[in-house]
Amino acid sequence: MPQPLSVLAQSSPASADVAVQSVWDFVEKGGIMMIPIALCSLAAIAVVCERLIVLRRARIIPAGIADRCDAAIAEGRSAEEFRDAERSPAGRMLGAGMEKLGHDVGVVEKHIGAEGEHEVYTMRRRLRVLVVITALSPLLGLTGTIFGMIRAFQTVALSADALGKAELLARGIYEAMITTAAGLLVAMPTLVAFHFLAGRVEHMAHELDRLAVWFVGRHAQKPATIVAPPAPAAHSAA
């Protein structure tokens, strides 16, 4: 009758050394390549938390900002005063449009569009770090696995005891595969977080674009129609 796995593990003298008892034990068995993988995971967590705070709708497009923009223009306040009061991407974009009020509608559209593009670029900042971590973590794990395999086969090649070679090789491969698992565990949630944050940036960019269209349609003045001067009246011959 086959014995349970627990009995087999207890009967093996090397099971205590091979078994993973804690997270730190998992990291320790992975070798030196676990250090850059752990740094990648910390960097990913920091970037995700920071972007989740920055990309909140209340920080990008505060509620009631369109009404406050109407009131500021009606009261004759300057664009600088409006930007200082709002301190948000939407406020800076509308302030850029307020600076050009009274000019041609094309000038207003160009100015507010340039500011909107700059704000969208700012919202996308640091997302490239997540892309790099997603691609780099599995490669670091694979590199650690290759180094572990090299050490495992080297140990077997240098071992004088032929009966223990299979056990030494299995143990080395087991520890080497830990880095690959760790790299994948870092890369997969980072990839999901990147696409989630990129989707939020696209949504906020669309909302800023709608706000810019509202501002131009409501406050930008159309260019004055050029009226040709009347032709001089012909003098009739006496």
Domain membership flag for residue 144: no
- Which structural domain, as residue segments, surrounds residue 99? 21-136+188-219
Task: Please give the pLDDT value at position 108.
Answer: 84
For residue 7, tell me if it sits in a domain: no
Q: What is the pLDDT of residue 22?
A: 59
How many domains in the chain? 1
Is 85 part of a structural domain of the chain? Answer: yes
- The answer to whether position 145 is within a domain reads no
* Per-residue pLDDT tens digits of the chain, which is 238 residues long: 444 444 434 444 444 455 555 556 666 666 788 889 999 999 999 999 999 999 998 899 988 888 888 888 888 888 888 888 888 898 899 988 888 887 888 888 888 889 899 999 999 888 999 999 999 999 999 988 888 888 777 776 776 564 556 666 666 777 778 888 899 999 999 999 999 999 999 999 999 999 988 888 877 765 444 344 455 555 544 3
The pLDDT value recorded for residue 237 is 44
How far is residue 168's CA from residue 159's CA, in Å, rounded to a whole number? 9
* Residue that is written with structure tokens 């500021």 in the block: 72
Tell me how far apart the alpha carbons of residues 97 and 101 are, in angstroms, rounded to a whole number. Answer: 7
In the chain, what is the straight-line distance between the N-terminal and C-terminal CA atoms, in Å?
A: 136
CA distance 175 to 155: 13
Is 199 domain-assigned? yes
Q: Please, is 230 exposed, middle or buried when counting C-beta atoms within 10 Å of its C-beta (0-12, 13-18, 19+)?
A: exposed
pLDDT score recorded for residue 9? 42
158 in a structural domain: no
What is the DSSP secondary structure assignment for residue 159, as one 8-state letter? -
Question: Which of 58, 105, 6 shows the shortest CA–CA distance to 207?
Answer: 58
Identity of residue 63: A
Establish how many alpha carbons lie within 13 A of residue 136's alpha carbon, considering only the half-sphere containing its beta carbon: 16
Q: What is the pLDDT of residue 6?
A: 45
